[in-house]
Amino acid sequence: MSKPLLLLPTVWATVESILFSEINFTESHSGRGLANAFRHAAWNLLIAKNCAVFTSNEKALGWAKFITDLHEDCFPNEPFDNQMDLHNNQIGRAVFEELIHQKIHSKKKMIQYLMEKSESAVGLKEANEIQNIKGELIYFNS
């Protein structure tokens, strides 16, 4: 492990993302719905936020991408689910970047912003629709 200082904040971000999903959504975060989309975005945002205490924002974002991409590689889903997860992971990192640029550093405000963003999430039925969605959370809409 080349970045031992980032391991504990990453594990804590994992726990937090699950807790925030369970607090804010009635559906399961392990499904294919909006709670799952939110959890993936929150996971990336929180990894970056927690790890930025120990490194630069840029390196924290790179670490968040590395860890969450590795997770997707090690625990493969159906192609549609994998594409959704990668998309929502990227949204979480983009939200972190956007809020840091706006000088918003409060974790509470970051999660509130992500919750507000989840209101405009797009429900998809097919994988080929993903490429048309930019900047929004996506989930499977059966």
* Residue pLDDT, tens place only, 96-142: 999 999 999 999 999 999 999 999 999 999 888 999 999 999 999 97
How far lies 92's CA from each of 1, 4, 65, 112, in Å?
24, 23, 10, 13
Range of the domain at 64: 4-140
pLDDT single digits (tens) 21-54? 999 998 777 788 999 999 999 999 999 999 999 9
Report the domain count for the chain.
Answer: 1
pTM over 0.85: yes
